[in-house]
Structure formats: structure tokens, C-alpha cells
Amino acid sequence: MNRHLISKDKTLLEALSQINSIGLPLVLFVVDKENRMVGTLTDGDSRRALIAGASVNDKAENAMHLNFNYITVDNISNVLELKRLKDMNMKLVPVLDDKMHIVEIIDLFKYKTRLPVDAVIMAGGKGERLRPLTEKTPKPLLPVGGKAIIDHNVDRLINYGVNYISVTVNYLKEQLEEHYKTPRNGVMVHTVREPQFLGTIGSIKFIEDFHNDTILLMNSDIFTNIDYEDFYLHFKEHDAVMSVAAIPYNVSIPYGILDLNGRNIKGLIEKPKYTYFANAGIYLIKRSALDLIPEGDFFNATDLVEKLISVDEKVIRYPLNGTWIDIGNLQEYQKALDLVKHL
């Protein structure tokens, strides 16, 4: 962060030298003697000041931009505000306390956003339909495009600013625990042992601490380019307790279908096409809903969906448009291997 901070009393020449050394994005945050933010200074601001007659020995404050954007510490989880700033082409967003001190800089050049969610990736399955590949290697660690299947998901979550990621493990768990012994892209991925096979959400009860009120749950063997920011904003907009990412599944019938009322024909539907939505294995869940999951019992995410519906809680569908492959068998694994070459 300090690389992007400069005192307002520094000269324009010193500011240009600092801008030249930091690399992209070419912006400095100008602070006063009390380290309060008072402006921003870019290479463009500097050039314009020099063209207008400023000297390189003038103070940086004479060229800085006074009307700057920022977010406050209290507003740091406001994804919609971050999106607005990103749409304004901001690359670095300063986070200020109530005294205008910079406590953090969010790098939208490197990350897409900062999602206030805890992610849980289920990675305990045996991957029996992928044998013999999974006899000695857990399915999440099978390579796709030079890195493990699960790492495509972990890296994408990190790219959306998710800092709390847990992976529940069971089959060949030691390999996954070893894999995540060191941080990945600056984020520590925590492995949590599942004592027995507990379905697609049961092991979430063994995660001791959550840092956010929204949990993102997903299977480890999915290959997808889902927009997690849009998924989250859709979830918050509709004030749901749970959102299920769903992929469109089209069915075409190559015949004329009879529209019947008993034996009577009411009409004909010529070669109809139907669109259904299939569960993509990615969910957003309010943390309070996890109380409905029994302790130590086999329990699937679909069981939680049905439980929430039975008590009149709001469960919604999020339409996933884009890449999605469930790497559950050798054919789908080959499809992912072919697809990753073109991404």
C-alpha cells in the first residue's frame, strides 16, 4: 500500500519518479502530515500540470485531483458500490476510516471485486466414475490445463476477493491437506476433515468459524466461469435465504406432440422445444440456514433446499450462462481438457 502513498509536500518531480516505479495502475494517493487522504495524483494529472506551466519543483498538492472517490471501512462489504467504482474504470479503491486515514487499498486491477462471503468447497468424494484416474489421486487434484480441477475454482474465488476458503476432505484427504499447506495467491485455504461421507453439505457443520453472513458452497469437481459478483448481487437483490445456480438444459422433441385431454386431442404441438434448469452444484446460503443441517448425518444440499421450502423460506434460482462442466466421468473430464485449451 505504501508504494501508492505520497506526501502532499513532495515535489512533482518526486511524484513522477514514484509513479514511474510503481507500475500499473499509475495512481498515487496524496496524504497530509496527519496521513489523511487529501487527493489523488496520476501521470495524466502531472502532465496536465506541467503543460499548464507548473514546475517539476512545485508541490504535488498543486497538481492533485481533489474530488476523489473512496469507500469507508463501514461500507467495505458494499459490493454494489465497488461495482459502481469499477464501472467508472477505477483500478485502486482506497478504504478510509472516519478520520480519512487510508486503512486499505482494494486492487480492482488484480481482483474483480471483494465479496463478503465464506466459500466452502466439497472435496471428499471418491470419484469412482473417473477410475482408474482416481485410484491414487483424489478427483479434485486431477489436472486440467496444467493445474488441479479444484485450483481453477479456488483461484476464481480469490479473483473475486474471497479471503476465507475452506475445503472439506475425506477420500485420500492427506493429498489435499498437503496441497494446501501453503497459501495460494496470498490466501490460506483451510482443509476440514469429514469423519465419514456426509453428502454434499453435511460436512459444513465441521467448519468451526465463519467470518461472513453469506456462505458460498460448491462442489470441487466443477469447471465453470460463473460470475460470482453477479451471483451475489442477484442473491442480495432478491433477499433470498438460499440461491441455487442453475444451468439451462434444452430438450428438443423431433415429432409432433399431441395435446391431450384424456383420449381427446385438443391440438398438436409440432416438434416442441423445452428448456429446463438443472442444479449446477453452486449455492449461496444465509449462514442462519445452516442451523437446519443435522449434526453428523448424511445430508445433501438438495435436502436443505427442500427443508427451507417446507418452512416457507425464500429459495431462488440463479441462471448460469457460460461455461459449466461437471467433471463426473471420463467423457466430461476429456471435455474439460479440450475446452481449457481455448480459454
**Cβ-contact 288, 196 below 8 angstroms:** no
Choose among 235, 233, 216: nearest CA to 224: 216
Distance CA 339, CA 321 (A): 16
- Which grid coordinates belong to 174? 492427506
Distance CA 292, CA 281 (A): 19
Q: pLDDT class for 308, splitting at 50, 70, 90?
A: very high
The residues with which 172 forms a beta bridge, in sequence order, are none
Distance CA 134, CA 54 (A): 67
Half-sphere exposure of 302 (CA within 13 A, CB side): 6
Cβ atoms < 10 Å from Cβ of 270: 8
Q: Which domains does the chain have, with CATH numbers?
A: 2-107 (3.10.580.10), 118-340 (3.90.550.10)
Q: Which residue has the higher pLDDT, 117 or 66?
A: 117
**Cβ-contact 61, 68 below 8 angstroms:** no
Q: What is the pLDDT of residues 279-307, one digit of tens each?
A: 999 999 999 999 999 988 899 999 999 99
Question: How does DSSP classify residue 25?
Answer: S
Angle at alpha carbon of residue 236, lines to 233 and 239, rounded to 5°: 150
Q: What is the pLDDT of residues 13-36, one digit of tens each?
A: 888 888 888 877 788 899 888 889
| Mean local confidence (pLDDT), 271-276 | 88
Distance CA 55, CA 49 (A): 8
| Mean local confidence (pLDDT), 197-208 | 90
For residue 27, what pLDDT is reported? Answer: 87
84: which residues sit within 8 A by CB, 6+ positions away?
none
For residue 293, what pLDDT is reported? Answer: 93
Distance CA 46, CA 39 (A): 13
Per residue in 279-318, is it b (16+ CB within 10 Å) or e — as a string?
Answer: bbbbbbbbeebbeebeeeeebebebbbebbeeeebebbeb
Question: How does DSSP classify residue 131?
Answer: T
Distance CA 244, CA 279 (A): 7
For residue 306, what pLDDT is reported? Answer: 95
CA 320 to chain centre: 14
pTM of the model: 0.86
**Cβ-contact 62, 69 below 8 angstroms:** no
Task: Give the 3-state secondary structure of residue 236.
Answer: helix
| Mean local confidence (pLDDT), 183-187 | 90
Q: pLDDT class for 275, splitting at 50, 70, 90?
A: confident
Q: What is the pLDDT of residues 55-84, one digit of tens each?
A: 888 888 888 888 888 999 888 788 998 899
The single residue listed with the C-alpha cell 487522504 is 37
